[in-house]
């Protein structure tokens, strides 16, 4: 993964954690646990999926579908 792609994945991850904290009143630790253990995060790291290039809203929607 190049520096640019790494930055995009890290930024997206930060946004997902922040939104989970805000919308579900979760602690940072709980939100991070959810994100880092999700299939969505796994797909985000796989550059072949192109998920890292999507909008944070789209990726958050995918995450919420996964976690219920």
pLDDT, position 2? 87
pLDDT, position 31? 98
**Number of domains the chain is built from:** 1
pLDDT, position 12? 97
What Å distances lie between residue 48 and 16, 20, 23, 43, CA to CA?
20, 25, 29, 9
Task: Using 70 as the pLDDT threshold, list the residues of the chain that sit under it.
Answer: none
Output the pTM of the full model. 0.92
Structural domain boundaries, residue 28: 3-67
pLDDT, position 1? 79
């Amino acid at each position: 993964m190049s520096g640019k792609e790494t930055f995009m994945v890290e930024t997206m991850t930060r946004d997902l954690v922040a939104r989970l904290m805000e919308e579900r009143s979760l602690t940072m630790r709980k939100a991070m646990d959810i994100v880092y253990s999700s299939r969505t995060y796994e797909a985000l790291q796989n550059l072949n999926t192109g998920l890292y290039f999507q909008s944070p809203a789209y990726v958050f929607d995918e995450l919420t579908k996964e976690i219920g």
